[in-house]
Chains A and B, each alone.
Chain A
Amino acid sequence: MSGHLQITDLTVDFGGFTAVKDLGLTINKGELRCLIGPNGAGKTTTLDLICGKTKPTRGSIKYDGKELASLEEYKIARAGVGRKFQIPSVFKQLTVYENLEVANCKNTGVFANLFRPGHSSHRDGLEKLAEFVGLADQLDLPAAYLSHGQTQWLEIALLLARDSELILLDEPTAGMTAQETHKTAEICNRLKGKHTIVVVEHDMGFVREICDVISVMHQGQLLAEGTADEISADPQVREVYLGSMGIGDA
């Protein structure tokens, strides 16, 4: 059986350094998969490969039966892949509402958008999205004034406004307080089932809160795959993490 997102033999070489090597992942529709691993394991690079930011040296990325590996970024996005970056990336000079308006676009052609007003008739739907991530009161605030956590949530809301079916989240809770992390977990749990989600995280508490299956990466390769308990019992995983973050205790 092949999954909604099917990665096989994915390899990328940065001038002699292989950041991701023969990686295989199968993620089913509506699944939330966590990708963990020590620093430099190649997690971010894997997401880069899926969303087209980096082109693979070889291997295939099939999403919904469509090969993504050779497509340009914007075409991958149009296929339904949404990416949240490790460094929160929103449009700082635009208001929260305008941010959502940019993301909310079925027809991304240049001329179609030239003859369409910047503030469309979707306001209700976008307001609901802002509410979903707790930004309903900040709709008309420039994104530059949002807190770090709010910026992260806004970026998630943007992916939803884009109607991305596959959502890639790179360290969504980095720099968040415990409370904010909990809220992010709630958001993830509510999206589960409706979207296929890949989350890269270091925070094991958060991972346990949201995840069914965890994939562990190490030096560009898949090291282990299983539930949180299976993973923390795995001797290989314990060895890799030894002294770094104590996965077993989380």
Chain B
Amino acid sequence: MALPSKSGLPISRQTLIQLIVYGLVCLAIFIFPFILDNDFLLNRYARYLVLAMVAMALSLSWGYAGILNLGQAMAFGLGSYCMAMALKLRTVPVHTGAGGLPDFMVWNNVESLPWFWVPFYNMPFAIIAGIGVPVAVSFLLGWFMFKGRITGVYVAIITLAALVVANLLIIDAQSVTGGFNGITDLAQLELFGFTFDAYSKSTYFLVAGCLTVSLFVALMVTKSKAGLVLQAVRDHEDRVRFFGYDVASFKVLAFCVSAGIAGLAGMLYTVVLEFASPTFLDVSLSLSIVIWVAVGGRQSLLGAALGAILVAGTQSSLQENEFFLDTWMLIMGALFVLVVLFLPNGLASLVDIIGRALKRGRGPAQRSTSSPAQTSEPAEANVSKQGAE
């Protein structure tokens, strides 16, 4: 079997470096709680890690496949509601007692549990639904868009519209979704004998584990042949089609994998924040995700994830500071504009820029050592020729 790299490894050197960097970052995320022993802060950082997951998912569809999904929060929100429904059914309602109707349904004069709530008594079902529902919705939406050859800004508009519709539907169906208030007063998630208290290391580790797994799954997708085809689609969709690929199905794949990761992130968000709310399907959250990804670097999964942590982290610390209370929006906006103007591929492209600068710095030195050898060859050739004469 021919190997693609000269080093003899079945992966290229660049991929190897990438794997190491990704691994180190994930390791740092896992070590973090041992340095910072503060459950309140850990909860906050767990929240950032969840946001990093959604951002990373968007980078997969936007940065790699060129699908600008402005409705990324839809998959996120659907996931969070699935988890909230399951956890809600595990709380003992004050009015109706164990096994009774959730409190907000009682207030809305609902008589019996709606049919689609019933399977959520089963936690494995809820977890599968938290990923499956966003994937199914995205599959339908993606199929309709990409089979219909809808591209570019129209995809952005349609996904945004879908998000608004989903948001309105949830608010409107108050009696079964909690409407504006969302679903609150939730039980703690229990899985495999662990209880995931939002303010504890266990939840942080759950989130960190999910982030790590989904980061590497997404990385594998981008490193697969399908990932290469997706990048080709981003560059020149028609050209790919005329090589015999059914472009639509590749785009649907990227769209759905992205939605699945976002759905998982949504479920974790509910666990970390202990409620679900229509603000999770907000246009402003969805656009924030786009900003995080743009700042971090849409063509880098890790860049997008770190961008989310950086921007969301800065945002909430600015919001806390009285001095910045009114101006944080302005600061975030300025940061966004600056990055987009000067680093179109986000902060992640700094790595490439620095790498290239280092190489250039080292370049001349290498050349000066090798040049004598090069010049001596023709000289020798001349000598031997003269000798022959």
Contacts and interface: CB of A to CB of B under 8 A. Distances in A.
A115 interface: yes
A42 interface: no
A51 B242 contact: yes
Interface stretch (A10-18, A28-36, A99-107, A227-235): A99-107
A90 B239 contact: yes
B253 A118 contact: no
Contact of B4 (A77, A99, A103, A121): A121
Interface in B135-176: none
A83 B247 CA distance: 17
A117 B229 CA distance: 11
Contacts of B225: 101, 105, 113-114, 116-118, 120
A102 B244 contact: no
Most buried by B among A89, A90, A118: A118
Interface string A105-141: 1001010011111111111100000000000000000
Contact of A116 (B2, B224, B239, B240): B224
A116 B50 CA distance: 29
Contact of A113 (B224, B231, B234, B236): B224
Contact of A110 (B3, B234, B239, B253): B253
Nearest to A93: B235
A124 B6 CA distance: 12
B232 A74 contact: no
Interface in B246-268: 246-247, 249-250, 253
Contact of A74 (B1, B231, B244): B244
Interface residues of A, number: 38
B148 to A, nearest CB: 13
A89 B2 contact: no
Contacts of B245: 74, 77, 105, 108
A206 interface: no
B63 to A, nearest CB: 11
B241 interface: yes
Given A110-B253, A122-B2, A91 B244 contact: no
B243 interface: yes
A77 B244 contact: yes
B221 interface: yes
Given A114-B221, A117-B223, A93 B231 contact: yes
Contacts of B229: 102, 105, 113
A162 interface: yes
A2 B226 CA distance: 39
B114 to A, nearest CB: 36
A102 B234 contact: no
Contacts of B18: none
Contacts, number: 109
A178 to B, nearest CB: 28
Interface in B365-386: none
B59 to A, nearest CB: 15
B231 A110 contact: no
B244 A94 contact: no
A213 interface: no
A78 interface: yes
Given A74-B241, A89-B238, A90-B239, A102 B228 contact: yes
B246 A108 contact: yes
Contacts of A66: none
A76 to B, nearest CB: 8
Nearest to A97: B4
A89 B245 CA distance: 16
Contacts of B223: 117-118
Interface in B1-33: 1-4, 10-12
Interface string B314-357: 00000000000000000000000000000000000000000000
A91 B3 contact: no
B264 to A, nearest CB: 18
A117 B9 CA distance: 13
Contact of A77 (B11, B242, B253): B242
Given A89-B238, A114-B221, A117-B224, A105 B3 contact: no
Interface of B: 1-4, 10-12, 221-229, 231-232, 234-236, 238-247, 249-250, 253
Interface of A: 51, 53, 73-75, 77-78, 82-83, 85, 89-94, 98-99, 101-103, 105, 108, 110, 113-124, 158, 162
Given A93-B231, A94-B232, A123-B4, 18 more contacts: A77-B243, A83-B242, A89-B239, A91-B232, A91-B236, A94-B235, A98-B232, A102-B229, A102-B232, A105-B245, A113-B224, A113-B225, A113-B250, A115-B224, A117-B223, A119-B12, A122-B2, A158-B243
Counting from the closest, the 7 A-B pairs by CB-CB distance are: A77-B244, A113-B226, A91-B235, A118-B228, A78-B244, A113-B225, A119-B4
12 contacts: A51-B242, A74-B246, A77-B241, A82-B242, A102-B229, A105-B243, A108-B245, A113-B225, A113-B226, A118-B224, A119-B4, A123-B4
